[in-house]
Amino acid sequence: MTSDKNIAETTGEQGKSKKAAKKEAKEAAKAAKKEEKKAAVDVAQAEEVDYSAGCYGNAVMNQSQEKLERSIIRVEDIGLSHIESKIWTRGRLHTSRAKGKQCFFLLRQQQSTVQCLLAVSESISKAFVKFTAGITKESVIDVEGIVRSVPQKIEGATQQDVELHVTQVWVVSAAEPRLPLQIEDASRPEEEKEGELAIRVNQETRLDNRVLDLRTPTNQAIFRIQAAVCRLFREALDQRKFVEIHTPKIISAASEGGANVFTVSYFKGSAYLAQSPQLYKQMAIAADFEKVYTIGAVFRAEDSNTHRHLTEFVGLDLEMAFHSHYHEVLDTIGSVLTEVFRGLQNQCMQEIATVNRQFPSEPFTFLDPPLRLEFPEGVEMLRQAGEQIGDEDDLSTPMEKLLGRLVKAKYGTDFYILDKYPLAVRPFYTMPDPKNKKYSNSYDIFMRGEEIMSGAQRIHDPEFLSERARHHNIDLSKIKAYIDSFRYGCPPHAGGGIGMERVAMLFLGLDNIRKTSMFPRDPKRITP
Amino acid sequence: MTSDKNIAETTGEQGKSKKAAKKEAKEAAKAAKKEEKKAAVDVAQAEEVDYSAGCYGNAVMNQSQEKLERSIIRVEDIGLSHIESKIWTRGRLHTSRAKGKQCFFLLRQQQSTVQCLLAVSESISKAFVKFTAGITKESVIDVEGIVRSVPQKIEGATQQDVELHVTQVWVVSAAEPRLPLQIEDASRPEEEKEGELAIRVNQETRLDNRVLDLRTPTNQAIFRIQAAVCRLFREALDQRKFVEIHTPKIISAASEGGANVFTVSYFKGSAYLAQSPQLYKQMAIAADFEKVYTIGAVFRAEDSNTHRHLTEFVGLDLEMAFHSHYHEVLDTIGSVLTEVFRGLQNQCMQEIATVNRQFPSEPFTFLDPPLRLEFPEGVEMLRQAGEQIGDEDDLSTPMEKLLGRLVKAKYGTDFYILDKYPLAVRPFYTMPDPKNKKYSNSYDIFMRGEEIMSGAQRIHDPEFLSERARHHNIDLSKIKAYIDSFRYGCPPHAGGGIGMERVAMLFLGLDNIRKTSMFPRDPKRITP
């Protein structure tokens, strides 16, 4: 039709005044168009020929048949600068609503949506509208359309100033008609509001159908925040001249005696999955790398079915030689984490807001430099709050939570370091306090009253290490390789391991670690 | 002595002219010193009292007894700016040589060394020199000394313009007297030179004593280069808006049929170790992340005892949705790797030179944009070189090596992409070429004639995927979860997995992948 119109115009321009010619041409074009359209409609009605054919349908499966030069605008970028332009975009059919001869639909790409509309007209056939109305939710579609401004902001879309008047729709990848969960339901805020739908999606359904669940704006945000946690952690350590290393997950012996480790069949023998990269980080220190970190999978065969335990998680581990005092290391860890939090607040504002809309929480607070309390101070605070706890007892999980609230009330921080744990509750390789044998040079770090890191100055002297192992009734033959690592000189060092999923969960104030693990593993789940 | 001198000075100042008082005081101090020294020597000779006592010895085991304000200069920083200053430094006793009343030793910190000397004098006792001469190699020591310039450059140390005249030596952590390997031997260049020692350390000895082996300058450099590979890879992808994800290593089913996977005991059941994060990367694409990457452990239960196979290695994996053609992805991979190589050459010059001194190799060459050949072109080059190979045969390892040499000779690059592999030699999920059914939209990437990456456009249509799986005689029930991932709409996508250790090995022209894995795992080794 467009080309016909051009032909009419060209013809009309010959030998006449430009204005008259233009007018005539316009009318001729109009008439021609009308006739054509009438004919098309007649034919469509008579023989069901579709005058929108070629403008919609199921695209042939993409096998990289050709390189299209077509430029594709991202949904988040569609705005006033495109007014009256014809553009191509790709996204998912989020929701659609057919109403008489019209079809409205929302096209979603990641966290952005744009309203699209299609109405039967001279160029849009009934069949086109019907086809579009029948596209299943979550199908990936290519849409061509003209960007138009709207009289009032569209509340239901992220692109509120414009809508797309559709000229072509092609289904790139169709979703099955029945979805095991609806993205809208999975995206609904936790808090119920009067007059709003109460449908929520429970966690098991989400995790069973993670490919759908991960499409919600909240999950898109959570895993970008998680990526930022790792990036900021690495940047802070790279700046401090730490070297990234990679440690083996398959190990020949369980360094802490063999409890809670998974066994692997290894050719004709067997091996274990590492519970921590600690031995290898320490070997890297004994091998002169001075400051190392590693980010990788850590495995715990604990049958703990709680909101904060996973059998496989991502460890942010670091180890560092120091000159005179392990606080050199602890101060480094504190400032690294402070930098991570500040980076998240500065760089992920939008993502944090998105998560908060679905799962409201108080903003995470921290001090710079971070608060460091000694274990006896924590015990004293708990006792003043009425808890019964011995000097050398470890803190129970409820006590940790309570202490978190007490610290928050007293110091105004969700983040603090608890230093100098009782020696009796720490592993054999922990360096005892030089002044008080009941305590040790070890620490835990807390966010919102939950532990995210455990660490210590490690014993770097092989004789003393053997002595401490014997004191713990550990079979020395089983940890020989560990002890031998220190026989050729090793500087004093300290370190710790941080649970990446816990950092993300607690920073965002979420209630379950499965929300910050893309494909969580627990005693009852190893799929998908 | 110092405090006595001060007392003398203070006394002398009372009631006299300042100058006179000073002079007198000085003389008094001198006299006192002389007498004291004489007395000390007398006593030392008579009763063996040591006038250097308190300046050397075995330090008390560091338990973080105190925070020393002492500033410690790194060996690499000791230079002309410190001339005549008294400094503290910490390092390992690299080598030492006692000669009469003198002791020379080299102090090493990571890749730097400084010459230290100690000679019996008024302030340095025989016992001090004897103690120092007896310190075992590789012990970690604190050294205090005065930095002095030297008449001619010291060839044997990295700090060639200065030496340290030692005033204190404290052993922080002693090495056992017998070392299973000598750092000097382990650092010696591979190529034997006439008149030089021919002692080398074989690989098994190195790996058995990795804590010592990793202290060589070459290993210090290799693992810094390896860290740079990962950092540059992430930076290139972050810039391109990829999202870093973490995929589980424990999986419930082996996606490619169950060969070559390690089995894990998982509570009362069993599970497997992931051979690749591919399924999870693809799920992230189906979940709208569009561009993802992950760096993590990958496990292969292959009984391959070669120079380039490990049972556990670090995968640099990426996956990306594309609009019309998988070359959008392949071009991205090519430019990311080119950026990694350029970054290594620019940022790791010194480390590369260090490695080359011990293991000489030709500098790594690449083109920008990288060379992309199609499989039939490669086959043709091989045939012209006299190889017999069918159109749909895969390349053998020797053929890959040969093709690498042919490509290098013809195009001058050690890095190239071989595109469009025969469909028959690729996994079931590989997208067939739309124009020629014998080929596929898949590729390998080579460095110095060895494969570092395999990848492809994946089939994103669940029906076609099932059809291809049946064609490969794969039990559909075993890959149901994989196929179901694509039932709710999935954009066309492609990706690949790069072996991190191979990239480091081949970039540096090393001969064995165990040289670029800090703690390598192969069918015969899971220790240390």
The ipTM (two decimal places) reads 0.91
Rounded Cα distance, A365 and A338, in Å: 10
Q: With DSSP H G I counted as helix, E B as strand and the rest as coil, what are the percentages for chain B, rounded to 5?
A: 35, 25, 40
Mean residue pLDDT across chain B: 92
Using a 10 angstrom Cβ sphere, with 0-12 exposed, 13-18 middle and 19 or more buried, the burial of residue A257 is middle
A493-499 β-sheet, strand order: A243-244, A291-299, A312-321, A493-499, A450-458, A442-447, A415-419, A371-374
B143 neighbors B107 (Cβ within 8 angstroms)? yes
Catalytic status, residue A92? no
Would you state the pLDDT for residue A14? 40
Inter-chain contact B283–A433, Cβ cutoff 8 Å?
no
- A321-to-A241, A339, A383, B60 alpha-carbon distances in Å: 12, 21, 36, 17
A433 neighbors A440 (Cβ within 8 angstroms)? yes
Rounded Cα distance, A338 and A287, in Å: 29
Nearest CA in chain B to A180: B488
pLDDT tens-digit readout, B172-195: 999 999 999 999 999 999 887 777
Closest residue to A297, CB basis, from B109, B226, B249: B249
pLDDT tens-digit readout, A321-359: 999 999 999 999 999 999 999 999 999 999 999 999 999
Inter-chain contact A244–B251, Cβ cutoff 8 Å?
no
Nearest to B503 by CA among B299, B231, B242, B249: B231
- Show residues of chain A in contact with B212, CB under 8 Å: 287, 488
Would you state the pLDDT for residue B16? 44
Model confidence at B385, pLDDT cuts 50, 70, 90, reads very high
A63 neighbors B327 (Cβ within 8 angstroms)? no
Q: Helix axis angle, B217-239 relative to B327-347, nearest 10°?
A: 140
The residues that bridge with B112 in the sheet, in sequence order, are B109
Token output for B196: 């030089």
Q: At A269, phi and psi to the nearest 5?
A: -115, -155
- Show residues of chain B in contact with A461, CB under 8 Å: 61, 173
Mean pLDDT on A97-115:
96
Q: Which uninterrupted H or E stretch holds B171?
A: strand B162-173
Would you state the pLDDT for residue A393? 97
Model confidence at B36, pLDDT cuts 50, 70, 90, reads low
Would you state the pLDDT for residue A16? 44
Inter-chain contact A65–B434, Cβ cutoff 8 Å?
yes
Q: At B181, phi and psi to the nearest 5?
A: -150, 155
Q: Within 13 Å, how many C-alpha atoms sit on residue A203's CB side?
A: 12
A56 neighbors A131 (Cβ within 8 angstroms)? yes
Nearest to B374 by CA among B417, B409, B414: B417
Q: For residue B369, is the peptide bond before it cis, meaning its omega torsion is within 30 degrees of 0?
A: yes
Which member of A112, A451, A493, A517 is catalytic?
A451
Inter-chain contact B248–A65, Cβ cutoff 8 Å?
no
Catalytic status, residue A144? no
- Show residues of chain B in contact with A312, CB under 8 Å: 248-250
Nearest to B490 by CA among A205, A220, A204, A212: A212
Percent of chain A with pLDDT over 90: 86
pLDDT of residue A18 exceeding 90, the answer is: no
A140 neighbors B490 (Cβ within 8 angstroms)? yes
Token output for A524: 């009852």
At B438 the three-state DSSP class reads coil
Q: Which uninterrupted H or E stretch holds B165?
A: strand B162-173
* Mean pLDDT lowest among A261-265, A360-364, B198-202: B198-202
At A337 the three-state DSSP class reads helix
Q: At A217, phi and psi to the nearest 5?
A: -55, -35
Nearest CA in chain A to B139: A489
pLDDT of residue A10 exceeding 80, the answer is: no
Nearest CA in chain B to A68: B324
Inter-chain contact B70–A251, Cβ cutoff 8 Å?
no
Nearest to A166 by CA among A210, A214, A106, A253: A106
pLDDT of residue B15 exceeding 60, the answer is: no
Closest residue to B481, CB basis, from A92, A492, A527: A527
User: What is the number of CB-based contacts under 8 A between chain A and chain B?
Assistant: 290
When scoring A211, A311, A457, A458 by the number of chain B Cβ atoms within 10 A, the one with the most, hence best to mutate, is: A211
Q: Which uninterrupted H or E stretch holds A379?
A: helix A375-384
Inter-chain contact A527–B311, Cβ cutoff 8 Å?
no
Inter-chain contact B64–A280, Cβ cutoff 8 Å?
no
- CA angle B243–B245–B249, rounded 5-degree value: 160
Strand B250-251 to strand A450-458: parallel, antiparallel, or no bridges (unpaired)?
A: unpaired
Identity at A158, one-letter amino acid code = T
Catalytic status, residue B502? yes
Mean residue pLDDT across chain A: 92
A292 neighbors A244 (Cβ within 8 angstroms)? yes
Would you state the pLDDT for residue B38? 55
B237 neighbors B318 (Cβ within 8 angstroms)? yes
A432 neighbors B63 (Cβ within 8 angstroms)? yes
pLDDT of residue B273 exceeding 70, the answer is: yes
pLDDT of residue B41 exceeding 60, the answer is: no
Nearest CA in chain B to A89: B323
Residues with Cβ within 8 Å of residue A370, at least 6 apart in sequence: A334, A335, A337, A338, A413, A415, A416, A417
Closest approach of B432 to chain A, Cα-based (Å): 7
Which member of A90, A139, A454, A521 is catalytic?
A454
Q: Within 13 Å, how many C-alpha atoms sit on residue A352's CB side?
A: 20
Closest approach of B173 to chain A, Cα-based (Å): 5
Nearest CA in chain A to B431: A63
The residues that bridge with A168 in the sheet, in sequence order, are A144
Would you state the pLDDT for residue B261? 94
> DSSP readout, A457-489?
EEP--HHHHHHHHHHTT--GGGGHHHHHTTTB-
Catalytic status, residue A148? no
- Show residues of chain B in contact with A460, CB under 8 Å: 62, 173
pLDDT tens-digit readout, B87-108: 999 999 999 999 989 999 999 9
Closest approach of A307 to chain B, Cα-based (Å): 18
Catalytic status, residue B448? no
Would you state the pLDDT for residue B195? 78
CB atoms within 10 A of CB A435: 10
Model confidence at A496, pLDDT cuts 50, 70, 90, reads very high
A394 neighbors A422 (Cβ within 8 angstroms)? yes
pLDDT tens-digit readout, A133-173: 999 999 999 999 999 999 999 999 999 999 999 999 999 99
B25 neighbors B11 (Cβ within 8 angstroms)? yes
Rounded Cα distance, A337 and A315, in Å: 14
Strand B56-58 to strand B162-173: parallel, antiparallel, or no bridges (unpaired)?
A: parallel
When scoring B60, B64, B135, B487 by the number of chain A Cβ atoms within 10 A, the one with the most, hence best to mutate, is: B64
Inter-chain contact A175–B252, Cβ cutoff 8 Å?
no
Would you state the pLDDT for residue A84? 97
